[in-house]
Structure 1
Amino acid sequence: MKILVLNWQDLANPQSGGAEIHLHEIFGRLARRGHTVHALVSGWPGAPARARADGMEIHRTGGRNTFSLAAPAYYRKHLASEPWDVVVEDLNKVPLFTPYWVRRPLVLLVHHLFGATAFREASVPFAAATWLLERPIPRVYHGLGTQAVSESTADDLVSRGLRRSDITVIHNGVDLAFFSPDPSLPRLAEPTFLYVGRLKKYKRIDLAVEAVHLLKERGHPARLRIAGRGDDEVNLRALVERLGVSDRVSFEGFVSEERKRELLRTSWANVLPSPKEGWGITNVEAGACGTPAVAADSPGLRESVVHGETGLLVSYGDASALADALASLTAERVARLGAGARRFAEGLSWDRAADRTEAHLAEVSTRPR
């Protein structure tokens, strides 16, 4: 197949996250299987307009805030005449409304929609714009073959008006060879927890900081390592200072995949207190390393964490409940939950996800146009 994927960013983008990992893991595999894969993504200052990565041809146009306008123009000028078998709109920011300007067989791939959670992250004008741009999705994408990365996302799409029969759920995978336990690398002696990902307001990393503060007040030893970068770092650092937990919370900054694996292996649990995720890929990466997760009992996350078996789920927004959950993790319980998390992760692989994606795209590409 000749496949075009439209995604807001590629993995080389400094703002990349889980959606970009998915892009490269899935479509990179399809490229290595012999399919021709091109990706149309946004650029950033100093980024080359063209690149090749994981067997894919990367086209960059516009920027983070202008991609939705730049992408249709670039497509019409450079890509519209190509004989694509299928075009995939990877929706993970705001919709590109491809049915209005792409005439090939289309697939909508959805990680998660923001809905009202946009107001937790952005200013009111930007949040309102995001909310409004999501409103026409059921009408614009009606009848398209759609992929959702979780049942929670599928349920969200159905609640907005898409047909459940058009939606195929394909869970994200994990690199089980790379993310794996290492008996020679012991966990830190003191209870140490990890957040890894973008530092964004809507991720509610502040709840993890507050939980560590509560544990300090209770005399319970606990540390938090925050790995990643983002525009909420300034606020998080200020909160750490204000709560007096600078001796308990450290900022790792951007980390390599090797360093991320080391952090996951040596931590007692991965912490993800977000109100909504498409899947929560770091929970599964942690599990593959034999490390449990403590996450909010929220859409997406409750699928990547099996409460009491691979980690713990706590009520969203409750820092005290999060602190209780962290305090309950003895070394023995961490070991038991970590073993369960590894077993759970072993049922999820990128190869499996790529197989299902390949089959779905092939089926859509042969439908009558």
Structure 2
Amino acid sequence: MVNWQDRLNPQGGGAEAHLHEVFGRLAERGHEVDLLCSGFQGAPPRDRLDGIDVFRAGGRHTFPLHARRAFRRLIEPRGPEVIVEDLNKVPLFTPRWSERPVVGLVHHLFGLTAFREASPPVAAATWLLERPIPRVFRGLPLIAVSESTRDDLVRRGLDAERIEVIPNGVDTTVYRPDPGVPRFEQPTLLYLGRLKRYKGVEFGIRAVRRLRDRGLAVRFLIGGRGDDRSRLESIAAAEGVADAVEFLGFVSDERKVELYRRAWVHLLTSPKEGWGITVIEAAACGTPSVASDAPGLRESVRHDDTGLLVPHAEVGALTDTLERVMGDADLRARLGAAATEFAAGFSWDAAASRTERILARAVGSARSAGERG
């Protein structure tokens, strides 16, 4: 596996959760799994997590400069049978590194969305670095976590026949409703994830101010870490709702489940997601989501069934929708029950099994080609 981060990285998010849930299960099944990723302050260069041997090289911003050399020095001698590149952030173009078979794993690519969410230099770099992906990965097997991601890859010129959609899973033995855990007494919104500008958390903050203007004493719990926290805190202060917006910082797994169960509504207002793991986790706990009507989220939220979708970045529409769902207990109960049933259909074990079959086919095809050669 080649991915920018592992699950212990403070900047880790859904891609890292997916990586460890799926490939940790493959390690449990007896496969040897190596992960090459970036390091972070205080992290050892070598680690073992979830049965995965982790090799860290460089840092968050220097990983692309170190990755290829680290692969040749640390991973290639171990004789990997297949390379899986998790295509997120800056592509590393692993098919150019080795003659071993490569499988691409794609959550979502930014494309032109980057220009709406990042500074022009960063957005331009992201857009340019994604441009060669179709050429480098054409003809190779690809895993997409949603139909939206697959459709995006096809529009970019990749073969639909080579792309298999494997949705993220959820551990319903952990994420499940608990009638013994009451909802918060005060109407409460919840966001859990990285605090990055492109996640659109600010729209929830602005909606809170409008809801309070309408007389609804709502609060907004924001869990997670990231470099956008100070900006979001400034927005909350400027909107006059600093007392209603609470930044929780790092949230443990146990606390996360409790928050999902106690919140009235889960909120995810980003312009694009590969799938939306937190949406399914909240759903499994019986909490509906209000989310942007955006790629990926259109699949993890079934509008007016398991949650509600709103036009991205339209704070007025978001406010109206939140007022509707927060003020209607019967609606929340209906959405929450349907969300729990929907989430039960997604399994990390099934995702791991399907991934295992794709990797086996890639290895088998490479062996057959070698024998013919």
Bin the TM-score by the shorter chain: over 0.9
1:257, 1:109 → 2: CA distance?
25
Amino acid at match of 2:205: V
Q: What corresponds to 2:348 in structure 1?
A: 350
Alignment TM-score, normalising by the size of structure 2:
0.96
1:131, 1:140 → 2: CA distance?
15
**Offset at residue 335 of structure 1 (A):** 1.2
Q: What corresponds to 2:233 in structure 1?
A: 237
1:154 aligns with 2:150: yes
Partner of 1:195, secondary structure, is: strand
Partner of 2:177, secondary structure, is: coil
1:106, 1:118 → 2: CA distance?
27
Q: Which runs of 4+ in 1 moved over 6 A?
A: none
Q: What corresponds to 2:317 in structure 1?
A: 321
| Residue 255 (structure 2) aligned to one of 251, 254, 259 | 259
1:116, 1:171 → 2: CA distance?
24
Alignment TM-score, normalising by the size of structure 1:
0.97
Structure 2 unaligned segments of length 5 or more: list them: none
- The 5 Å alignment of 1:102-117 reads 102-117=98-113
| Residue 205 (structure 1) aligned to one of 179, 201, 206 | 201
| Residue 338 (structure 1) aligned to one of 336, 339, 354 | 336
- CA shift digits 1:148-201 (9 cap, x unpaired): 000000001001110101100000001111111111111112221101101111
**Offset at residue 64 of structure 1 (A):** 0.8
| Residue 122 (structure 2) aligned to one of 115, 121, 126 | 126
Q: What corresponds to 1:272 in structure 2?
A: 268
1:298 aligns with 2:298: no
Q: What corresponds to 2:29 in structure 1?
A: 33
Q: Is the 8 A contact 1:89 1:107 kept in 2?
A: yes
Q: Is the 8 A contact 1:121 1:200 kept in 2?
A: no
1:80 aligns with 2:73: no
Q: Is the 8 A contact 1:267 1:291 kept in 2?
A: yes
Q: What corresponds to 2:4 in structure 1?
A: 8
**Offset at residue 119 of structure 1 (A):** 2.5
2:189, 2:123 → 1: CA distance?
31
**Offset at residue 247 of structure 1 (A):** 2.4
2:245, 2:151 → 1: CA distance?
36
1:243, 1:132 → 2: CA distance?
36
2:162, 2:31 → 1: CA distance?
24
**Offset at residue 78 of structure 1 (A):** 2.2
Relative to structure 2, which stretch is displaced further, 203-212 or 75-84? 75-84
2:17, 2:249 → 1: CA distance?
18
1:205, 1:106 → 2: CA distance?
35
2:335, 2:75 → 1: CA distance?
48
Q: What corresponds to 2:216 in structure 1?
A: 220
| Residue 55 (structure 2) aligned to one of 56, 59, 65 | 59
**Offset at residue 240 of structure 1 (A):** 0.7
| Residue 95 (structure 1) aligned to one of 77, 91, 103 | 91
2:248, 2:75 → 1: CA distance?
40
Amino acid at match of 1:291: T
Structure 1 unaligned segments of length 5 or more: list them: none
**Offset at residue 218 of structure 1 (A):** 1.1
Amino acid at match of 1:83: G
Q: Is the 8 A contact 1:120 1:201 kept in 2?
A: no
Q: What corresponds to 1:359 in structure 2?
A: 357
What is the RMSD of the two structures over their aligned residues, measured on CA atoms?
Answer: 1.0
Partner of 1:344, secondary structure, is: helix
1:192 aligns with 2:192: no
Q: Is the 8 A contact 2:83 2:103 kept in 1?
A: yes
1:79, 1:179 → 2: CA distance?
35
- CA shift digits 1:121-170 (9 cap, x unpaired): 43222221111000011111110000000000000100111010110000
1:314, 1:144 → 2: CA distance?
36
Amino acid at match of 1:280: G
**Offset at residue 68 of structure 1 (A):** 1.3
Amino acid at match of 2:239: L
1:333, 1:116 → 2: CA distance?
36
| Residue 141 (structure 1) aligned to one of 137, 144, 154 | 137
